[in-house]
Chains A and B, each alone.
Chain A
Amino acid sequence: MTVPFSWIRPEPHGIYIAPADAWVDPSRPVSRALVTHGHADHARGGHEATLATPETLAIMELRYQTREGALPVSYGETMRLPGNVQATFIPAGHVLGSAQVLLEHAGERVVITGDYKRRHDPTCPPFEVTGCDVFITEATFGLPLFTHPPIQHEIGKLLDRLAAEPERCVLVGAYALGKAQRVIAELRAAGHNDTIWLHGAMERMCRLYEEHGVPLGDLRLVSDAPSKDALRGHVAICPPSALNDRWSRRLPDPVTAMASGWMMVRQRARQRGVELPLVISDHADWHELTTTIAEVNPSETWITHGREDALLRWCELHQRKAHALALVGYEDEDD
């Protein structure tokens, strides 16, 4: 018998499935890529063949202007890859189209989570716990201090601030893919039906979400606003990089908000000049990470991108076999 799990190995530029000559979330062009979701650190262009959910492929097409080699795989559908490898895409609850990848070969099951969360998200189906031998988990918020509050609480903070300072606008820095649409959808769910103003970089992704059945209500571009006054008392959303940029000068004295799991830490928020921190993350917090490992109950846990050390320590304290993978290029400073 061969060495267990020797058919799958972490390389600096992705996880390599040797018998299928395929890569999961490779950070450089390859012949066959399995892509968990559309964020740029996971979905690169230029592969000869790309297996991903239809939503993820649509996002990649929007970003890279090409569908070449796109092979859509629906949630729950099993694909046969060369070398007797089977791949199944399972909801990860991270963003629209996000998936875990279940790989089966020689009687061994490996789940690669990509990025995931366990909280409710109106823009994508929830994470499904899938039993396996090796569980390869992300660890972006892998420190015990990260406890993401209920999103309704954070949305409430945003709406309270809007009401308290009606002469200003609240400018929310949020990832253009996923976070922005989730914040908008949750604002709508909380009964906020006013126009929400967008930075130009948000527009096409929001439209894509709507085409995939996620209604976002009345959205308009800041650049189309008739005057600064039209934005007073309104929510505007931009990518985090635009928060303190020249772009924001066109807004009426904006309250600088940021929707990110990092906002849990006061000095992080201060460093970015954030006045209204909204602890909203599309990643699993510490409790979600540890309970997911316990529920999946794998014989081995491999930990990647994030604060591997602490999650590794938790596995050690709970007598779970685990090790950290040294993959490059996955870091989520803005989530």
Chain B
Amino acid sequence: MERFAALLDALVYTISRNRKLALIADYLRETPDPDRGWALAALTGGLDFPAVKSGTVRALMMERIDPVLWTLSRDFVGDTAETASLLWPAPAQAPAPPSVSEAVALLSAMTRKSVAAELAALLDRLDATGRFALLKLATGGMRIGVSSRLAKTAFAQAFAVDVEQVEEYWHGLAPPYPELFAWAAHGAPPPDIDNLPTFRPFMLAHPLEDGTVDLADYAAEWKWDGIRVQLVRAGEQTRIYSRSGDDISATFPELLDALPFPAVLDGELLVRGAHQGGKTGGAASFNALQQRLGRKTVSKAMLAEFPAFVRLYDALIVEGTDLRSLGWAKRRAALEALIPRLPGTRFDLSEVVEARDFDHLAEIRAGARDEAIEGLMLKRRDSPYIAGRKVGLWYKWKRDPLLVDCVLMYAQRGSGKRSSFYSDYTFGCWDGDPDNGAELLPVGKAYSGFTDEELKRLDRLVRQTTVNRFGPVREVERTLVFEVAFDSVHESKRHKSGLAMRFPRIHRIRWDKPVHEADRIEALRALIHQSDRPD
């Protein structure tokens, strides 16, 4: 436990991603099984002890310290586990810390009845750093700046294996992942996951930038504006995974019995509507889909109003046959052959876009703003399905961004190598005639799209024109216009302007442009597509 506690402490105070990776990798290499497996589970949010919750810890503390003093302390620290670790009365006996696996075994065995005595006895065996680690491990929600993906990347780095392979096995295994360590650390055969509905890492695309491709080698498909999902059926179970590999099955229950045979399919999750792909059998806007996202339980009304379906792009595995090593054209043929076997209410096929040549394709893309929101995908006809982003196989050719001129209003410091620079910018548009007393309302925030040299100049401007400070945020004089690029704009109740942009980034810095020539809110509002407005 001491080593794990030291790791957590070091991670809390480490900003650099590479240093975090190195810290975790060192720990995983140097710690014996099964401790390192439990630690990995803790870092990836894979542990749950039903009897030990934040409330349990609070109750335990209230028996030991005046409730008023506890509440004042908790408010100041802002974290129950940390407050408790600091306020726990130091035991008389010397610490006798348990191993991580012993701690996990003890925590698992705790019941609502026994937790008060047993958790207290465990805390008595640890120092303050150890108590912090134990309570974080027990109650989850680490808040130490380590994502599940980062921990898996560190695992891959520790044993020089491919992180995408780790991802592939991950969902079929349970803590403390003995098969995973046996494979990665000791060269045992990889874990057998064929009969488990596990996530297979996605194949991703590079932006096309300014190049062209030969359509003899590449096929074009619409890039739909929903969420990319993977549908997996194995061992009589179906799961839906998001692009990050999160299991979102519970959010879309209507899809769980729609796939009648074992398979791994790649597609875009959408809800029914007329916005994308035609009035009949089409999909609604991303805004409509957003109503469904992030819910753990779904009401019948939701299911009826926003029914979900998957527009299929690719087939990875069908009835035990792994198609990933085949070229795209062969997989596509296999996918098309599947369509008649799938219920039309829940699945359709993402059509291939036919064009005479690249210029013709560009024309189709230019005219397609209303139909296919995000643009086109270009897939090499002979490319296998390879996890991650491999150059030359898949390209995304997003439609040209929308542009609007905004005024810089607030700036905030960045993180990592930008930590001393004001690199996060909030900008606004005028709510009327700027020469007639109009005000600026914030419409978005961006932290990319400029060079290091431009960043230095922007940083200097922010420092020299600060008029107000709100914690880490600086309000600046209205002097600078940004030409902001974004993919689309939607109504939003979250912002005072009533608008929210998707993927805003700085396109150009208009050092030359007077601020009263920046755009008005109404100009931005006009860029909302009619059918994109919620009914």
On A, residues with C-beta under 8 Å from B are: 143-145, 147, 244-246, 248-249, 264-267, 269-270, 273-277, 307, 309-310, 313-314, 317
Report the bound CA distance from A309 to B73 in whole Å: 10
Is B76 positioned at the interface, with any CB of A under 8 Å from its CB? yes
Is B161 positioned at the interface, with any CB of A under 8 Å from its CB? no
Report the bound CA distance from A269 to B10 in whole Å: 12
The one of B15, B76, B82, B419 that contacts A266, using a Cβ cutoff of 8 Å: B82
CB-CB nearest in chain A for B72: A310
Is B14 positioned at the interface, with any CB of A under 8 Å from its CB? yes
B12 and A270 contact, CB distance less than 8 A: yes
A residues within 8 A CB of B12?
Answer: 266, 269-270
B69 and A314 contact, CB distance less than 8 A: yes
A313 and B13 contact, CB distance less than 8 A: no
4 new A-B contacts, CB < 8 A, other than A144-B87, A145-B86, A313-B69, are A144-B73, A267-B79, A310-B73, A313-B72
Report the bound CA distance from A314 to B68 in whole Å: 10
Q: How far is the CB of A138 from chain B (nearest CB, A)?
A: 17
B87 and A145 contact, CB distance less than 8 A: yes
A residues within 8 A CB of B73?
Answer: 143-145, 310
Is B413 positioned at the interface, with any CB of A under 8 Å from its CB? yes
A-B contact pairs, 28 of them (CB 8 A): A143-B69, A145-B76, A145-B77, A145-B83, A145-B86, A145-B87, A147-B86, A244-B413, A244-B420, A246-B420, A249-B420, A264-B86, A265-B76, A266-B82, A266-B132, A273-B415, A273-B419, A276-B13, A307-B72, A307-B76, A309-B72, A310-B68, A310-B69, A310-B72, A310-B73, A313-B66, A313-B72, A317-B66
A residues within 8 A CB of B143?
Answer: 267
Contact with A along B315-332 (1 / 0, CB 8 A): 000000000000000000
Is B65 positioned at the interface, with any CB of A under 8 Å from its CB? yes
CB-CB nearest in chain A for B459: A246
Is B78 positioned at the interface, with any CB of A under 8 Å from its CB? yes
A residues within 8 A CB of B72?
Answer: 143, 307, 309-310, 313
B13 and A270 contact, CB distance less than 8 A: yes
Contact with A along B370-404 (1 / 0, CB 8 A): 00000000000000000000000000000000000
Contact A245-B420, Cβ < 8 Å, known A266-B82, A269-B13, A276-B13: yes
B residues within 8 A CB of A265?
Answer: 76-77, 82
Which positions 285-340 of chain B face chain A at CB distance < 8 Å?
A: none
Most buried by B among A264, A265, A266: A266
B82 and A244 contact, CB distance less than 8 A: no
A274 and B13 contact, CB distance less than 8 A: yes
Which positions 1-37 of chain B face chain A at CB distance < 8 Å?
A: 12-15
Contact A143-B420, Cβ < 8 Å, known A266-B82, A274-B13, A313-B69: no
Contact with A along B42-70 (1 / 0, CB 8 A): 00000000000000000000000110110
Q: How far is the CB of B419 from chain A (nearest CB, A)?
A: 6
Report the bound CA distance from A265 to B9 in whole Å: 12
B420 and A144 contact, CB distance less than 8 A: no
A residues within 8 A CB of B83?
Answer: 145
A275 and B13 contact, CB distance less than 8 A: yes
CB-CB nearest in chain A for B19: A275
Q: How many residues of B contact A (CB 8 A)?
A: 26
Contact A313-B68, Cβ < 8 Å, known A145-B86, A264-B86, A277-B13: yes
Report the bound CA distance from A264 to B65 in whole Å: 19
B residues within 8 A CB of A266?
Answer: 12-13, 79, 82, 132
Report the bound CA distance from A310 to B14 in whole Å: 32
Report the bound CA distance from A245 to B413 in whole Å: 10
Report the bound CA distance from A286 to B132 in whole Å: 20
Q: How far is the CB of B175 from chain A (nearest CB, A)?
A: 25
B419 and A244 contact, CB distance less than 8 A: yes
B87 and A275 contact, CB distance less than 8 A: no
Report the bound CA distance from A144 to B72 in whole Å: 9
Report the bound CA distance from A314 to B413 in whole Å: 40
Report the bound CA distance from A231 to B354 in whole Å: 63
B residues within 8 A CB of A310?
Answer: 68-69, 72-73
Q: How far is the CB of B497 from chain A (nearest CB, A)?
A: 29
A residues within 8 A CB of B87?
Answer: 144-145
Most buried by A among B65, B86, B132: B86
Q: How far is the CB of A251 from chain B (nearest CB, A)?
A: 11
Q: How far is the CB of B263 from chain A (nearest CB, A)?
A: 44
Report the bound CA distance from A105 to B459 in whole Å: 57
Report the bound CA distance from A310 to B83 in whole Å: 15
B residues within 8 A CB of A275?
Answer: 13-15
B residues within 8 A CB of A248?
Answer: 420
B residues within 8 A CB of A147?
Answer: 86
Report the bound CA distance from A264 to B79 in whole Å: 13
Q: How far is the CB of A331 from chain B (nearest CB, A)?
A: 14
Contact A273-B66, Cβ < 8 Å, known A244-B419, A309-B72, A313-B72: no
Report the bound CA distance from A245 to B459 in whole Å: 11
Report the bound CA distance from A136 to B419 in whole Å: 41
Contact A267-B78, Cβ < 8 Å, known A144-B65, A145-B83, A313-B66: yes
Report the bound CA distance from A170 to B307 in whole Å: 57
Report the bound CA distance from A143 to B76 in whole Å: 9
B residues within 8 A CB of A277?
Answer: 13
Which 9 residue pairs across A and B have the least CB separation, nearest first? A145-B86, A310-B72, A275-B13, A313-B68, A145-B73, A244-B420, A266-B12, A143-B73, A265-B77
A residues within 8 A CB of B15?
Answer: 273, 275
CB-CB nearest in chain B for A314: B69
A residues within 8 A CB of B65?
Answer: 144
Report the bound CA distance from A317 to B87 in whole Å: 17
Report the bound CA distance from A244 to B12 in whole Å: 18
CB-CB nearest in chain A for B65: A144
Report the bound CA distance from A50 to B79 in whole Å: 44
A residues within 8 A CB of B86?
Answer: 145, 147, 264
A267 and B420 contact, CB distance less than 8 A: no
Report the bound CA distance from A145 to B78 in whole Å: 13
Report the bound CA distance from A310 to B12 in whole Å: 28
Contact with A along B453-467 (1 / 0, CB 8 A): 000000100000000
A residues within 8 A CB of B68?
Answer: 310, 313
A267 and B82 contact, CB distance less than 8 A: yes
Report the bound CA distance from A316 to B87 in whole Å: 20
Q: How far is the CB of A234 from chain B (nearest CB, A)?
A: 20
A residues within 8 A CB of B132?
Answer: 266
Report the bound CA distance from A123 to B8 in whole Å: 35
A residues within 8 A CB of B77?
Answer: 145, 265, 267
Report the bound CA distance from A273 to B414 in whole Å: 11
B residues within 8 A CB of A276?
Answer: 13
CB-CB nearest in chain B for A142: B72
Report the bound CA distance from A143 to B44 in whole Å: 33
